[in-house]
Structure 1
Amino acid sequence: MVLHGESCGKFDIKSPAEKFFISFTDDINSTFDIISKEKITESVGWEKKTVTLSLSGNLVSDSYDMFKATITVTPREDDADGGHVLWTVEFEKTRHDVEDPVWIIDILISYLKETDENLSNI
């Protein structure tokens, strides 16, 4: 089993990309509310609408030497509302018997989709 891994995906959003990105970055720490004792380090690239999150703390550091998520939001090309979210998660396990961090990735994707849904209903 490999210690270093990566997972990525893309999905469409209904809300305007700019509005989605601002909402997500304004509320960045609640992305991982469920992981209560984790520290989130972030960097935000406003021009390219990219956020990079690095997690560290009890739950993550016991199993992963590194956990980094990068989220990029792009508007639709036809100037209509909506856009695309591209997410990439990189991780390095502390040992071979540690599972891939699927549950953390699921929390992130659920949060992003919920953010879009909430913004679409405004």
Structure 2
Amino acid sequence: MVLAGKLSTELGIKTPVDKFFKLFASELHEVQNISERVHGAKLHEGEDWHHNDSVKHWTYVIDGKVHTCHESIEVDEQNKKITFKLFGGDIDEHYKVFNLIIQVIDNGDGTGAAKWTVEYQKINEDIDPPNGWMDLLGKVTREVDAHLVKGTNIAL
């Protein structure tokens, strides 16, 4: 019985890598204003959106259904990698562990990519893998990229 799993996707981005990473690392609250599938985000605990001890509450749509969860964040600036630890709400109904990991990759030729990994541990074998999350992450990535490309003249 396999309860743990990992899903991964890598999506090309047009936005400069530093700018794309900055939005997720220090302007995460803006995602709700950019993505049609993220309906709300608010600071649940803590004083700062981007502090490791802070907890945010999210409302989002997967497979046409509204879901909620809490999230804490760990940022690795050097590797342009962020781990979002999700819990509470709908997450706890299906998973013991649920992490979203984004790594923004500089291809060295002026192009970049957003690599998303979903790491999870299901509460039982009857739970399906979180494939809907891959669709959500792809959609959010495309929306954020398009939004940032429009504003590429804005200083980093």
TM-score by length of 1: 0.87
Q: How many residue pairs were aligned?
A: 120
- Consecutive unaligned residues of structure 1, counting only runs of 5 or more, are none
Q: Which runs of 4+ in 1 moved over 3 A?
A: 28-33
Letter aligned with residue 50 of structure 1: K
**1:71-114 residue CA offsets vs partner (Å, 9 max, x unmatched):** 10022312x2x311111111111111111111223212211221
Q: State the Cα RMSD in Å.
A: 1.9
Aligned ranges 1:1-122 → 2 under 5 Å: 2-25=2-25, 26-27=27-28, 30=32, 32-34=58-60, 37-78=68-109, 80=110, 82-122=111-151
**1:57-82 residue CA offsets vs partner (Å, 9 max, x unmatched):** 1200011111111110022312x2x3
1:70 counterpart SS class: strand
- Consecutive unaligned residues of structure 2, counting only runs of 5 or more, are 33-37, 39-57, 61-65, 152-156
Check conservation: 2:69, 2:87, Cα contact below 8 A: yes
TM-score by length of 2: 0.69
More helix by share: 1
Check conservation: 2:9, 2:134, Cα contact below 8 A: no
Alpha-carbon separation, structure 2, partners of 1:104 and 1:55: 12
Alpha-carbon separation, structure 2, partners of 1:62 and 1:116: 32
Q: Identify the structure with bigger relative contact order (alpha carbons < 8 Å, sequence gap 6+).
A: 1
